[in-house]
Amino acid sequence: MFFVVKVTSGQERIAANMLQNKISKTDLPIYAIVVIEGMRGYIIVEAEDELTCRQFITREHNVKGMLGKALSDEEINKLIQVKTFAQDIEKGDMVEFTSGPFKGYKAKVLKVDDLKSDITVQLTDAPVPIPITTKMNTAKVIQKAEKGE
């Protein structure tokens, strides 16, 4: 069963690492600890049951508590599902920002860094062409690059 554990916002990885170290020192049936990117203030713990999870997280630094209901398989699949729509972005594509400070602006992709999930773009409406590097998931492709560009 998967449980949502509330932790100090911004300290998700630290709390998960501390709990991970605690697994080897205890005989509680804890199976996994998951940090989900973009889910600030929460981590997911897979445990045999609610009582086991509560015992496991008690008196840990940066751990604030636990939501009382276990996640359904459908809910956990939605959370851990890999979003691949941003991976379609290629050099030369026209994109529109869907979030962040440039929301609504259009830009041309100059460079794609798949390892970091970053794109470097140049805003089309800007009076001065300045390259901007941002995350792929903040933009969507509105026009694919023509072959040979």
Dump pLDDT digits (tens) for 108-144.
999 998 888 899 999 998 888 889 999 888 888 998 8
Q: What percent of the chain has pLDDT over 90?
A: 52
SS3 for 44? strand
**Residue with tokens 């709990």, as numbered in its chain:** 19
Dump pLDDT digits (tens) for 42-88.
999 999 999 999 999 999 989 999 998 999 888 888 877 655 444 57
Going along the chain from its start, the domains and CATH numbers come out as 2-80 (3.30.70.940), 85-143 (2.30.30.30)
Does the pTM surpass 0.85? The reply is no
What is the Cα–Cα distance from 75 to 42, expressed in whole angstroms?
Answer: 14
- Residue 95's alpha-carbon distances to 15, 41, 110, 123, 144, in angstroms, are 36, 31, 11, 9, 9
